[in-house]
Amino acid sequence: MENLQKIINQIIQWGITPKLSIKKKELVLKKSLISLYQEYLLIEGNIQEDEKEYPEAPEFNFEKISNTIRSNFPKLGFYQMVLDPFDMIKPDNGLGDANDDLSDIIKDLMEVQWRFQNTSNVDAIWYFEFIMRNHSERHLVNILKTLKDLEEQL
C-alpha cells in the first residue's frame, strides 16, 4: 500500500508542478506508469469494499492539470489509433490525445490520493482498482504506446 501511494505521488507531480527539472522525464514517467500498472494487476479483483459512507471527493481542475502536463511534456499531443483492432477488413482510425490520457490518469489518481488521506485505505484501494478497471487502464496503455512511439522518432 505504501508503494502504491509513492507511485501515485510520483505520477501526480507531473500534473501539479509545472516545469519539473527532472532529467529523462519521459523515461521517469514511463517507469512510474509501468509500476502503477503492476500494482493494479497485483490487486485486480482481490479487494474488499468499505461499506462506510464518506463525503464526496473534491473536483480537481482538469484544465489546470492538462496545462501543467503540457509544461512538463510539450511533445505529448495527438496520435492516431485504430478504433477496432480486430476489424481486419477495414479498420477505422481515430484520434487520441496523450496529454488528455495523462490528465485523466492524474485526475483519477488525485482522487485515490484524496481517499487515502480522507477516507480509509480499504476505500482508496477499492476505488483505485475500480477506476483503473473502468477508466484509467485504457489511458495508461495508450500513453505507454505513445511514449514508445515518441522514443522511436528520436
Domain membership of residue 47 as a residue range: 2-153
Q: How confident is the model at residue 22 (pLDDT cuts 50, 70, 90)?
A: very high
User: How many whole angstroms separate alpha carbon 11 and alpha carbon 105?
Assistant: 9
Distance, C-alpha 95 to centroid of its chain: 18
Decide: helix, strand or coil at residue 113: helix
Torsion of CA 125, 130, 132, 135, to 10 degrees: -150
Measured between alpha carbons, how far is 41 from 18 in angstroms, rounded to an integer?
Answer: 30
Count: domains in the chain? 1
Model pTM score: 0.91
All three cell numbers of 23, joined, read 532529467
pLDDT 10s digits, 98-144: 999 999 999 999 999 999 999 999 999 999 999 999 999 999 999 99
Mean pLDDT over all residues of the chain? Answer: 93
The CATH number linked to 110 is 1.20.120.1550
